[in-house]
């Protein structure tokens, strides 16, 4: 049993010693002079011609393999702001409970 623990410990040390290849995980962000309207619609030209980041990796419960739900991210910036367009696809559409709190009720009384 002691040998098993030693073997597992050495395997974990070996797995942690390999460096992360960060060169493959860089994003080139293009600047824009176009006015970005924050309305939830990605109809500006910069979003149509921009680089899209996808194929994210799963983190929990284990950190191996691609994420099961598709996500796409685009970034751009101008002199004043950094803009992020994030599209999250849901495989269980309509099956998630909506959590609500009175402080999130924005309707006028």
| Full domain range(s) for residue 44 | 26-91
Is the separation of the CB atoms in 3 and 19 below 8 Å? no
pLDDT category, 75, cuts 50, 70, 90?
very high
| 96 is a domain residue | no
| 106 is a domain residue | no
> Count of domains in the chain?
1
| 42 is a domain residue | yes
Does the reported pTM lie above 0.75? no
pLDDT reading at 14 higher than 90: no
- Rounded CA-CA distance 73/86 in Å is 5
- Rounded CA-CA distance 99/91 in Å is 19
């Amino acid at each position: 049993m002691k040998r098993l623990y030693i073997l597992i410990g050495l395997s974990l040390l070996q797995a942690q010693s390999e460096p992360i290849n960060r060169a493959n995980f860089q994003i080139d962000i293009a600047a824009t002079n176009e006015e970005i309207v924050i309305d939830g619609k990605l109809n500006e030209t910069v979003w149509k011609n921009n680089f899209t980041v996808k194929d994210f990796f799963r983190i929990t419960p284990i950190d191996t393999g691609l994420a099961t739900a598709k996500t796409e991210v685009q970034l751009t910036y101008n002199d004043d702001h950094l803009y992020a367009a994030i599209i999250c696809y849901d495989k269980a559409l309509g099956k998630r409970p909506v959590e609500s709190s009175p402080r999130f009720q924005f309707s006028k009384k």
